[in-house]
Each structure stands twice: as structure tokens, then as C-alpha cells.
Amino acid sequence: MTNAVAAHFRAQAQACRRLGSPFTADLLARLIAAPIEASRFGARILGWKGEPGADALALRAAGALHALALSGRAPALTAAYPPAPGPDAELLAETVASHDAWLFPWLDSPPQTNEVARSGVLLGGLLTIATETGKSLELLEIGASAGLNLVPDRYRYALGVGNWGDAAATPLIECEWRGAAPPFDARLDIAARAGVDLRPVDPALRPSPLLCYVWPDQHARRARLEAALDRLAASGLKVAAGDAAEWLALRLREPQAAGRARVILHSIMWMYLPESTRAVIDAEISAAGARASQDRPLAHLRLEPDGVQGSAAIRLTTWPGGEPRLLGRGDYHGRWADWV
């Protein structure tokens, strides 16, 4: 096992514990200590060729094991998941050896979290855009997964500093809001919405593949995800399959309706993109910004890690102008927001 892999698993375990999943923290610690090197799954993890942190290696492994537990193919593993305290190193080694071929392909792809509670954090940015432009919004989300964060206007929010949304809407998004309150009185009219993902998830598929990336001891998070998927499936909204840079370039070159603000949106996905793809996206956004006008403004709203441990930055850039600003910081899973 490389030092980088060991350090990454330790860091991810600490992050899981901090984010409220002691089960996943313990699972990762036991997995990396288990004798799994004889399997293809284990050998690939221990000798990972890429950058473990940037590739979210530990979360890929945890998602693979959770998917196996949910599938019912490994009854002993399933029985060790919550409410049980978790599999020990011996059971993990036996499971990996017995289901190596099934587990191995799960390491090919980064995790698909599509955490709907992030809408609670992003709502503040969308209300800010609506207030400042006074226009309806056109949302363009890259890395959209199933599209759960493309419909923030259809959820109900309890943010501590105030409530927002239809009182009968589901699911309820609860977010501990710190600092200045967002402009709750803003009119949020989302006139159009579209998203893209390399591997979009069909919200109607059951059991949803998104469930394996919900940490097993976070029951409320799972219930919220399932409620959001049900609502999205009923809406008929579909996320396009494709490359984020290519898709966004085409969308940004389409005529923009007068009186509408075009909003590029993404959350906790930027680190999964190759540097070359990021550069193309940045260039396309800058070019679109140069074409923006007061009647056809452009905004770039994102919730992405910036090196500060334990939270992600909420940043907004609007055109005309193009000056980026920090709106605040948010929890990766949307549990809290700290507005500046």
C-alpha cells in the first residue's frame, strides 16, 4: 500500500466522522487494514495509480461495499450494516475475496452523491441572483447526476433564520443558517432548467444507484433522497448524457431570452474534472460573460472545495462585471451554511 493511499483513507475516515457517519469512518479504517491485497479490488485500491484524494478513492470503495450490501448478494455483509455496528476486517476480507469481480468495476467511476440538501445552501445564491437581476432564471447545471439540485424551487426549506417554499412541498430541506439571512422575499422564477452528466442517473430507477453513496448510518439523508427522487421522477425532467465542457459550450452559444438571467450551477464536482476540461469550461464561461448585458445577464454559482478543511466555498460571479465574490461557506452535505 502506498503512503498516499493510507493517508487518504485516514483523512477520509476523519471527514466521515466529522460529517456524522462513524460507521463509514470505521469501515474505511477496517478495510484498509484488512488482508485484501490478493484480490483485484484490493490490489487496485492499495496500488492506486492516480491521486487518491482527487479521485475520491475511499468513497468509491465504500460505495462499492454499500452497493453490495444493498444488493443482497452478500448476506453476511448486509447483516453487518446498520443497525449493526459494521463488518470487521475478517468479514471484509472474505467479502472482497468472494465478490471480487462484482466489486472491481465500482472503482472505475467517482461517487455520485447528488445530495439534495445542497439546494439549501445554493438557495441563498439563487435568491441573491434573483434579487440583483430582477429577472427569471435559466439554470444550466454541470455534473447534475439525477438533477435533484435543478429543482430547488420545488422543495420546502427550514433554514433557522426563516422558512421558504410551499408548506406542502416535499422533501423538507433543513439547513442551519449562520450569518446574514438570504433575501427570502425575492421572487424566484425558474423559467428553464437543464443539466448534463457523464453518467446521468434515472430518478425513476429503483433501487437508485445513488443510495449506495449515502452513508449507511445516515437514515434521514436516505429518506430525503428517496423523497426527492420520487418527486423528480414524477416531473419528467431528464439530465443529458455528455461531456460537461462540450454541452455547456453549446448551451451558452444558444440565444438567451431577453429578461432572463442565465445561471451556470455546480456543486462538489469540480475536483472530478480533468484540468483540461476545467480550462475549457472557464474559457466558455468567460466568453459568455463578455456577451452578457443588463437585459441578458449571466451568473456562475458554485459550491466547491477550496482547500479549507470541513467546508466548501459558495462563490458567485455575475456579468456584466465579472467580479467573483465569496457569498459564504457551506457543509458538503448541506447541513449548514455560513453567509458573509
Q: Give the pLDDT confidence of 112-146 residue by residue, as tens digits.
A: 888 999 999 999 999 999 999 999 999 999 999 99
Domain boundary among 59, 82, 108: 108
99 Cβ contact list (under 8 Å, min separation 6): 68, 73, 74
Integer distance in angstroms from the first to the last C-alpha of the chain?
42
Cβ 210 vs Cβ 145: under 8 Å: yes
Whether residue 101 is found in the same domain as residue 154: no
Can you tell me which residue has the cell 443482497?
Answer: 72
Nearest to 242 by CA among 209, 288, 277: 277
Whether residue 101 is found in the same domain as residue 129: no
Specify the CATH number for the domain of residue 239.
Answer: 3.40.50
Whether residue 235 is found in the same domain as residue 154: yes
Q: What is the pLDDT of residue 148?
A: 96
Nearest to 304 by CA among 277, 266, 334: 266
Distance CA 278, CA 6 (A): 28
Residue 220 lies in domain: 118-339
- How many domains does the chain contain in total? 2
Whether residue 80 is found in the same domain as residue 122: no
Domain boundary among 82, 108, 134: 108
Task: Convert the pLDDT of each residue in 264-276 to its tens digit.
Answer: 999 999 988 999 9
Q: How many residues does the chain have?
A: 340
Residue 10 within any structural domain of the chain:
yes
Can you tell me which residue has the cell 475516515?
Answer: 13
Cβ 63 vs Cβ 215: under 8 Å: no
Whether residue 279 is found in the same domain as residue 172: yes
13-27 average pLDDT score: 95
Q: What is the pLDDT of residue 158?
A: 96
Domain boundary among 89, 108, 127: 108
